[in-house]
Amino acid sequence: MNSNNNYNNDSSSEDDLQVYETLTKVAPPNELLPRKLTIDIDVKSLYPLKPLPQFCKTYTTFFEESLQRECSIPDIQVTDENRTLLDYYEENKQNLVYKRFDQLDLGKRTSNDRTYFASLLANFKRTQPRVFFRGEALFDQKLTPCPSDQIQFDSNFESGNLFCAFKKAENVYDLIIQNDINTRGNTQWFFFSITGAKAGQTIQFNILNHLKTGSLFNEGLQPAVYSVKENQLVGTEWCRDGFNISYFKSVFMKEYPLSLKKKYYQLRFHYTFKHEGDKVYFAHSFPYTYTNLLEFLNTLLEDQERNQYLSRKVLCTTLGGNTCEVLTITSNSLQKRAFRKGVVFLARQHPGEPQASYVMQGIIDFLTSNNPQAEYLRQNCIFKIFPMMNSDGVVNGNYRCGLEGSDLNRRWKKPNKYLHPSVYYAKKYVKGFSKERQILLVVDLHGHSRKQSSFVYGCAYSSQVKTIERVFALLMSKVNPFMDYSSCTFRVENAKDKTARIQLWRELKINWVYTYECSFYGQQKKHYQIKDYLNCGVSICNALSQIVKDTSKEFTNQANQPDIQQQMLEELGKMPQTDDQDIGSDSSQSEAELSDDELVQLFQPKTYSIKQKNLLKQQETNNKKKLQQPNSNLKSTIASQKASILQESPSKNSEQKPPMSSQKPKNPLYRIQAPLRVRQLDQVKQPETPLMVDKSVQTDDWMYRQWLIQMGKLKKQQEFQSFTPTRNIYKSSSQSVTRFIVKNSTMKNDRGRVDSISLMASGLQNKLISSSQQRQMMRYSGSNFMS
């Protein structure tokens, strides 16, 4: 059974194909210049970074789990339930032993109620972004010196994010991790180092401001630990260590907003140092930095056997100045090239999920190897690989967002070219690729902090278990010992409508579009190690090779072999019905994003959304009103004049005010709005003081007549100024004063056409107008007037 062909009828199809052709065009060879395959390792960060050790030179499978030792350090109980991190700093600032930048004034409060304790804001309105902390710019950042008899913290390296540390008691330290850049939260990933501890010293660490309500740390997960001396002595790489681990609700409230009184969550663990003068790194999971990716790609490009199958292009430049790479892996042979299927892999949209990079490295390493299955895939598929979509977030230690402060995996429906360049160009690239050939599979690699094992999220409108969308997921679970099919879900959720999985599934009509999730922990209470993540990538390729063989039978002599897809469907039909409920989803926390009025201060106008543009217009209108406050006397006069005439007494006629027309009038002389007429009259001549009349004899008809008098007066003044004769008017001599009646007898209030009464003909002097007005007022001041 073949999957459906993917077609896209989007109006921007020509642009997508043009972007794809531009990026895939190969420059002509130049024999005079040597070909440079390697990538210059140029990592750009918002602040200076220190180099990290060369991690992950060797890989091992499951390590023996660390013993759950007990610790005699007493817990410190806090009773205050309504404190913030800023209140905590005010109480413990004398115990501060580390802050990431020496210029930070952690006790400073902003003028409004938006004092986010651990947030750094990056302003991108200029060519070079500038980092601000509570309104003050940071320049030459330096570490705060610590006394030599204390342990020293550090996070000024790639992917590090420790914001500050306090010595709460002997061998007890409270830590606060930095929010994602340009956000007020998204704190789950942590990465820092410690030096100066003594051999055998046990220290308790309390990370106070985690975001999520649940964590695998309560189910047995341990922090990732790397000891420099341990690596030098016995070659030990990253391992899982720590004991007395707990994850619970913190006593500190979030700052956004305080009225909700939502609490942070706290991670507590202990660690015993093994060597004197050692430097030990602690992280949420095994780190995989942007530098690690570039070094890995350089090793492939320098390998003469592997680089013949691999080509790389720079997809775009990110907001922070780093590059987003796109790799192409296929066979150099031209045989069956037109019939090769398309396969797309993406990784690291969320920078705090490094296991996705290890799975991606396993995929790339396998596809460029001499394995017979890899050779078969290269001959029948063209692979487009985006190894690190969010390099800015990886470099700067973010957990979920990029430098623009938003989740890239929630921007695939309508990405912004300037704020989300990697998503914008990757989507166009994939759509252009789909017009060249059929795309068989799309896999977006992620990490999951709430569930064990590895599994996939798929797309399906039907709740039936026997559907084509589940076939490849079931096949992967059979060839991958680390994957649990029972944890997979196949739904189209509204909360995830803007993800890469759902948008590519809808727009490209591809059956097999998956989000592949790897647990931060492992399976069956055993930790995943780095080699296990690499093997997950190899298993995806092995499952893909079986599907490709099944879909390519029409071009080979394998028609007598069993249909793999049909076997999977039959097996799915025997499975019980499931509700596909995703318990413990890793959906993004939108409440951690900055408000629109804060974001417009950080980015250029070309990046604004419609909502933000409307907000700016409203702010400009309010500012203009403030500037026009000195002219409030004129406005108050107009308001008092209207109130004296139209709002003297409530009645049915006074409630029926002429409606305001939204359309621009063709003839401003007759179709101008009634309130606007009064305003124009006041601009020409200072309004006279309203006449004092006995209110006891005022009736509804009297107020209506007074309004007609003013409208007629305005019309005659406009005619006098424009020197245009009055048309369609006949004279009536039934009154003692000259009475002009508009020939159109039907009164349309919305167009401003009413029967008007003018006191004098055009050309009379102003003093005659005032006297005739007085006579008219006396004539109609009583209840018995001429209709």
Show which residues are catalytic. 517
| 339 in Cβ contact with 401 (< 8 Å) | no
H/E run at residue 523:
strand 522-523
Residue 26 half-sphere exposure toward CB, CA atoms < 13 A: 7
> Bridge-partner residues for 265, per DSSP?
210, 249
SS3 145: coil
| 457 in Cβ contact with 571 (< 8 Å) | no
The CA angle 543-546-552, to the nearest 5 degrees, is 140
| 328 in Cβ contact with 384 (< 8 Å) | yes
| 607 in Cβ contact with 419 (< 8 Å) | yes
State both tokens at 626.
Answer: 């403030």
Between strands 239-240 and 224-227, the pairing is antiparallel
Between strands 279-283 and 191-195, the pairing is antiparallel
Question: Cα–Cα distance between 89 and 84 in angstroms, integer?
Answer: 9
Secondary structure E strands in 146-304: 152-154, 162-169, 172-177, 191-195, 202-210, 224-227, 239-240, 243-253, 263-272, 279-283
Q: Considering just the CA atoms, what is the radius of gyration of the chain in Å?
A: 37
Between strands 202-210 and 263-272, the pairing is antiparallel
Distances (CA, A) of 728 to 725, 737, 744, 745: 10, 19, 8, 11
Contacts of 483 (CB under 8 A, 6+ apart): 453, 454, 455, 456, 476, 477, 536, 539
The CA angle 191-197-198, to the nearest 5 degrees, is 150
| 515 in Cβ contact with 444 (< 8 Å) | yes
SS3 131: strand
Between strands 263-272 and 224-227, the pairing is unpaired
| 415 in Cβ contact with 9 (< 8 Å) | no
Q: In what order do the strands lie in the sheet with 224-227?
A: 152-154, 191-195, 279-283, 224-227, 239-240
Which residue, chain included where needed, has tokens 């360049």?
A: 421
Question: Cα–Cα distance between 177 and 164 in angstroms, integer?
Answer: 7
State both tokens at 642.
Answer: 């209207």
State both tokens at 375.
Answer: 């050779």
The CA angle 489-492-496, to the nearest 5 degrees, is 100
Q: CB neighbours (10 Å) of residue 570?
A: 11
Distances (CA, A) of 620 to 111, 503, 557, 615, 627: 21, 36, 72, 9, 11
Q: What are phi and psi of 680, to 5 degrees?
A: -70, -40
